[in-house]
Amino acid sequence: MSTETDEPAITLYRLQACPFCERVVRKLDEYDLDYRSRFVEPMHSDRNVVKRISGKRTVPAIVDEATGVTMSESANIVDYLDATYGDGAATDDAVTDRREA
């Protein structure tokens, strides 16, 4: 999935060797999704780029240009990737999610 500029639709903000970030990476790889990694500052107080996009300084955080979704927290991201790109992504779960929004 690429935008018109051939950039991946998904940007993952992460830290080097972060187990929560690696959980998201494994899920992105499982679904064979193109994504761009942006490694952020290790110091929590220096992660202004992440705060600008997600409202928090925590990682991982993703921006999915294809759906307009921005979120943080690895468990939430994995659930989102499962619902959006996993088996049955466009089935009842997607309809339920739209109703709850």
Domains held by the chain: number: 1
CATH code at position 16: 3.40.30.10
pLDDT digits (tens, 9 = 90+) for 10-57: 999 999 999 999 999 999 999 999 999 999 999 988 889 999 999 999
Kindly state whether residue 5 falls inside one of the protein's structural domains: no
Kindly state whether residue 98 falls inside one of the protein's structural domains: no
- Close Cβ partners of 73 (under 8 Å, ≥ 6 residues apart): 58, 60
Kindly state whether residue 3 falls inside one of the protein's structural domains: no
Q: What's the Rg (C-alpha) of the chain?
A: 14
Reply yes or no on whether the pLDDT at 98 is more than 50.
Answer: no
Q: Which domain holds residue 27?
A: 10-89
Kindly state whether residue 22 falls inside one of the protein's structural domains: yes
